[in-house]
């Protein structure tokens, strides 16, 4: 089983749609969680951190469920510019490195 698993998609949605991505992680002792965004042939960029209480940044909402070892990202009112690959990232406890999922590809169409 992979340490961080994501639905690879692709998700093809119309502008204005709401879309949700899920991610599961295998290490129950993981301590930090993030969503990164990666545009085609570009480097990953931090989208948002994920907290147990849930957090929101404009149209984006991230949730963490430690009991189920599950992370989600919700995008409301999708824009064309949201088209990208979304990477789920986990940092294991007492570790230095970030563990990335394979990414979920989103295409928002007019």
Partner 1 sequence: ETGVTQSPTHLIKTRGQQVTLRCSSQSGHNTVSWYQQALGQGPQFIFQYYREEENGRGNFPPRFSGLQFPNYSSELNVNALELDDSALYLCASSPRFPGANVLTFGAGSRLTVL
Q: Closest separation between CB of residue 97 and partner 1, Å?
A: 4
CB-based burial label for 86 (10 Å; 0-12, 13-18, 19+):
buried
Contacts of partner 1 in 6-65 (CB under 8 A): 8, 32, 34, 42-46, 49
Q: Residue 103 or residue 108: which is nearer to partner 1 going by CB?
A: 103
Kindly determine how many residues on this chain lie close enough to bind partner 1 according to the rule CB under 8 A: 21
Rounded-to-integer distance, Cα 30 and Cα 5, Å? 14
Q: Closest separation between CB of residue 6 and partner 1, Å?
A: 8
Taking CB under 8 A as the criterion, the residue among 4, 19, 47, 71 binding partner 1 is 4
Q: Please state, in angstroms and as integers, the Cα–Cα distance from residue 33 to each residue in 4, 10, 48, 92, 97, following that order.
A: 11, 22, 9, 9, 12
Contacts of partner 1 in 56-85 (CB under 8 A): none
Q: Closest separation between CB of residue 89 and partner 1, Å?
A: 8
User: Who's near 82: CB < 8 A, 6+ residues apart?
Assistant: 75, 106, 108
Q: Please state, in angstroms and as integers, the Cα–Cα distance from residue 81 to each residue in 10, 31, 84, 94, following that order.
A: 16, 31, 8, 36
Position 87 contacts partner 1 (CB under 8 A): yes
Q: Which residues bind partner 1 (CB under 8 A)?
A: 4, 8, 32, 34, 42-46, 49, 87, 91, 95-103
């Amino acid at each position: 089983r992979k340490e961080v698993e994501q639905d690879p998609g692709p998700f093809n949605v119309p502008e204005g749609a709401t879309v949700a991505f899920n991610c599961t992680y295998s290490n129950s002792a993981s301590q930090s969680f993030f969503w990164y965004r990666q545009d085609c042939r570009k480097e990953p960029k931090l989208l948002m951190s994920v907290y147990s209480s849930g957090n929101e940044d404009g149209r984006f909402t991230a949730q963490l469920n430690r009991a189920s070892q599950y992370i989600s990202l919700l995008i409301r009112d999708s824009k064309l510019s949201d088209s990208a690959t979304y990477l789920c990232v986990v940092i294991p406890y007492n570790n230095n490195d970030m563990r990335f999922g394979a990414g979920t590809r989103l295409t928002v169409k007019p």
